[in-house]
Chain A
Amino acid sequence: MDAQIRIRGAGKVFRSGGREVEALRDITLDFPAGQFACLLGPSGCGKSTLLNAVAGFSPPTSGSVEVDGRPVAGPGPDRGMVFQEYALFPWMTVEQNVAFGLSIRRSPKAEIREKTSSLLAMLHLTEFRDRYTKDLSGGMRQRVAIARVLALDSPILLMDEPFGALDALTRHNLQDELLRIWESLRKTVLFVTHSIEESIYLADRIVVMTYRPGTVKRDLAVDLPRPRDPSAPAFNELKKELTGLVMEEQWRHERDETRAVAAD
């Protein structure tokens, strides 16, 4: 099967004030269409950097990223992104936010209205359509952000710790909602998280990344049947294995920070 997202030897070095930080080193990954993949690792492992490279916000300094056979040249509506900070436009109502992508494409008015309405219904937002985002809870805002990206009909969904700022119950709800949407629309999802449980609950495939420079530490398929039960033995076995892998990187991260403090 052809890869929809093809990453070849991608590296990223940030330079600031004479200091260099190697965020990514030699990442080679293929993601086929329709796969739900999680990038998992502690903070500082470059998982968001990799996602931003696919999104086109910040190209790799070496290697290449291709989507549908074409090199990524910049951000675009074929790769819808959901941000941890929601990034909704506060001067627009919920409905206007969701319709934004379609309206700048100059889709016919009737089509925009119909599509927006069905997305609002899909994400249980219909009664909030005329609200401004300041009046919504975090969970609601992230629903709006997901609806806004789904309106683009992009084959790829990039999600940068989208549920990281939400409380546990809201988070759980939105995970189920996302799976329901993914199962009906079959988009390719690249989902960044540092939550081991979240990655097992959601993904077909989990890519564990190392701390600085970010490399692929382990790339494993999750073939537990859905809906997944976090209390099932198989789930917990996988969780134990992943916890071991992630904690190794977390220790490296903490050791690094302790050293940095000691050097000051």
Chain B
Amino acid sequence: MGAGNGGTSRAKAFLRGVAVPATVVAVWQLLSMAGQINPQILPAPSAVLVRWYQYLAPTELFDPAKTSYIAWLFSGELIHDAFSSLYRVVVGFVIGAGLALPLGLAMGANEKVYKVLDPLVQVLRPIPPIAYIPLSILWFGLGNAPAIFLISLGAFFPILMNTISGVRHVDGIYIRAALNLGADRKTMFLRVIVPAATPYILTGARIGVGTAFIVVIVSEMIAVNNGLGFRILEAREFFWSDKIIAGMLSIGLLGLGIDTGMERLNAHLLKWHRGIGS
């Protein structure tokens, strides 16, 4: 008691953080070992861990004649699935953001464009991307195309809405100062309005990535035959509940990784902004 240096207090904070999850897992493991839980319904944590390792590890033995060591190391099914899912998220996000950003800037900066397009946007916006599944299959068949369509849709609206309000909420004092300094319309837009709106736009991007990640899992359950979403659905067909949970944990970790990356990017791009960093 009373040890006050940084190392032990950080260790204490860590222990406090893992105490509850560790207890839950321990109780769960004990109940499973005592035969109190049907492993088909809920497998033991140890079984999930073993399955996770099998899912992650390469399926074949290392053979230098066939592949390099690195390629072999990353040849496991989980790695493939994670890359497939990530690839769809990235492509879908880039398409969705690539459409939403210019449209949002135009709608935010130009009252006429806003008035013409806003009613349509307001009607389409509440439709969840999931509701486009039947239409996306009709339009694009199966494979990556419908999945990427749905993911772009998921990223599109958050970025659009945030870009519009970012541009519309630019503080009038910046506009007045820039006009006074002699800015023309192009300078005003590129060097004042867009940078002033970036905090909003980046918030939209972060929400957009989150939505894209939800949609990728769902779309993989219907249209493709790899990816994390497909894998947990496949595992259900074989009653591999341990693999379902291993897949879910992988989804959680990948989502956490993406969000952390976005947060880092935001902090870097907004280092001028109050409230980020010191």
**Chain A residues at the B interface, C-beta cutoff of 8 Å:** 55, 57, 74-77, 79-81, 83, 85, 87-92, 100-101, 104-105, 132-134, 148-149, 152
Cα A189 to Cα B69 with chains together (Å)? 74
B273 touches A134 (CB 8 A): yes
**Minimal Cβ-Cβ distance residue in B for A104:** B187
Chain A's interface: helix, strand, loop or mixed, by majority? loop
Residue B174 at the chain A interface, CB threshold 8 Å: yes
Chain A residues with CB under 8 Å of B198's CB are: 91
Cα A87 to Cα B212 with chains together (Å)? 37
**Minimal Cβ-Cβ distance residue in B for A75:** B179
Residue B274 at the chain A interface, CB threshold 8 Å: yes
- The answer, among B176, B196, B271, for a CB contact under 8 Å with A57, is B176
- The answer, among B177, B191, B273, for a CB contact under 8 Å with A104, is B191
Residue B35 at the chain A interface, CB threshold 8 Å: no
Chain B's interface: helix, strand, loop or mixed, by majority? helix
A134 touches B274 (CB 8 A): yes
Cα A105 to Cα B272 with chains together (Å)? 25
Residue B20 at the chain A interface, CB threshold 8 Å: no
Question: Whole-angstrom distance from the CB of B173 to the nearest CB of chain A?
Answer: 5
Chain B residues with CB under 8 Å of A88's CB are: 177
Residue B182 at the chain A interface, CB threshold 8 Å: yes
Question: Whole-angstrom distance from the CB of A150 to the nearest CB of chain B?
Answer: 12
A81 touches B180 (CB 8 A): yes
A101 touches B181 (CB 8 A): yes
A75 touches B272 (CB 8 A): no
**Chain B residues at the A interface, C-beta cutoff of 8 Å:** 173-174, 176-184, 187, 191-192, 195-196, 198, 271-274
Given A83-B176, A83-B177, A87-B176, CB of A104 within 8 Å of CB of B272:
no
B182 touches A132 (CB 8 A): no
A77 touches B181 (CB 8 A): yes
A134 touches B272 (CB 8 A): yes
Question: Whole-angstrom distance from the CB of B159 to the nearest CB of chain A?
Answer: 19
A89 touches B180 (CB 8 A): no
Cα A83 to Cα B191 with chains together (Å)? 20
Known: A89-B178, A104-B184. 14 other contacts (CB 8 A): A57-B176, A76-B182, A80-B181, A83-B173, A87-B177, A89-B177, A89-B196, A91-B195, A91-B198, A92-B195, A100-B191, A101-B182, A134-B273, A148-B181
A132 touches B272 (CB 8 A): yes
B182 touches A87 (CB 8 A): no
Q: Give me 29 A-to-B residue pairs in the complex whose CB atoms sit less than 8 angstroms apart, sorted by A's number.
A: A57-B176, A57-B179, A57-B180, A75-B179, A76-B180, A76-B182, A77-B180, A77-B181, A77-B182, A80-B181, A83-B173, A83-B176, A85-B173, A87-B173, A88-B177, A89-B174, A89-B178, A89-B196, A90-B272, A91-B196, A100-B178, A101-B182, A104-B182, A105-B182, A133-B272, A134-B273, A134-B274, A148-B181, A152-B182
Interface centre among B181, B196, B273, B274, by most chain A C-beta atoms within 10 angstroms, is B181
Chain B residues with CB under 8 Å of A90's CB are: 272-274
Given A75-B179, A80-B180, A148-B181, CB of A89 within 8 Å of CB of B271:
no
B273 touches A81 (CB 8 A): no
Question: Whole-angstrom distance from the CB of A52 to the nearest CB of chain B?
Answer: 9
